[in-house]
Amino acid sequence: MSQNLVIVESPSKASTIRKYLGDEYQVLSTVGHIRDLPRTQLGVDLKADFKPLYVIIPGKKKNVDALKEAARKASQVFVATDPDREGEAIGWHVTRILKNLNKPIHRVMFYEITKEGVLEGMRNATDLDMNLVNAQQARRIIDRLVGFKVSPFLWRVLYSGLSAGRVQSVALRLICERQE
């Protein structure tokens, strides 16, 4: 009998959850994000509706390969990343990596890491919340656009090493406008 695979973000949560679920389940961790925009290029297609180009994060290939291998052997996969915007995005990236395996993939959420909380989450499997995934992607794309487009301008005009972020740039503008 093949095991079910549960994928969480945190290695410490994985070991605790494994105890609660028993031998029918293998529990592995993504150890945080596994894909992101490439570090050395914009990674956003400005001509195709700001479509992001995701790559496996350097240093995460072994982890991704282990998740794929475990999913290949599993009868079904449960994505149990954190129940928030980042967790939903990590879960979406996991499903994108595993989609060609043609395995049933379920979204489960654990609101507390207790035996009852974990079993309750497993009983209430659902789908990914694409609104949360899209919210995280929008934030990430805006961070990249501001960082890659505004920061080099600051380097030319002021001095090298300055950075501009989506929040700090707006906050700085508000401060300047108030000062004026």
Q: Does residue 105 form part of some domain?
A: yes
Q: Does residue 155 form part of some domain?
A: no
Assess contact for 36 and 55: CB atoms under 8 A: yes
Helices 130-157 and 85-98: crossing angle in degrees, nearest 10, is 100
Q: Does residue 177 form part of some domain?
A: no
5's tokens: 């695979």
Q: Is the pLDDT of residue 152 over 80?
A: no
Average pLDDT rounded to a whole number, residues 120-137: 96
Considering only CA atoms, which of 129, 25, 115 is closest in space to residue 78?
A: 25
Q: Does residue 147 form part of some domain?
A: no
Per-residue pLDDT band at 170 (split at 50, 70, 90): low
Q: Does residue 109 form part of some domain?
A: yes
pTM equals: 0.86
Lowest average pLDDT, out of 17-21, 51-55, 84-88, 172-176, goes to 172-176
Q: Is the pLDDT of residue 35 over 60?
A: yes
Which SS3 state, helix, strand or coil, does residue 29 take? strand
Q: How far apart are CA 78 and CA 166, in angstroms?
A: 34
Residue 108 sits in a domain whose CATH number is 3.40.50.140
Range of the domain at 41: 4-132
Number of domains in the chain: 1
DSSP string for residues in 93-138 = HHHHHHGGG---EEE---SS-SHHHHHHHHHT-B---HHHHHHHHH
Give me the amino acid identity at 8.
V
Q: To 10 degrees, the CA torsion angle through 92, 93, 94, 95?
A: 50
Distances (CA, A) of 135 to 90, 131, 132, 150, 172: 13, 6, 5, 22, 24
Q: Does residue 138 form part of some domain?
A: no
Q: Does residue 140 form part of some domain?
A: no
Q: Does residue 20 form part of some domain?
A: yes
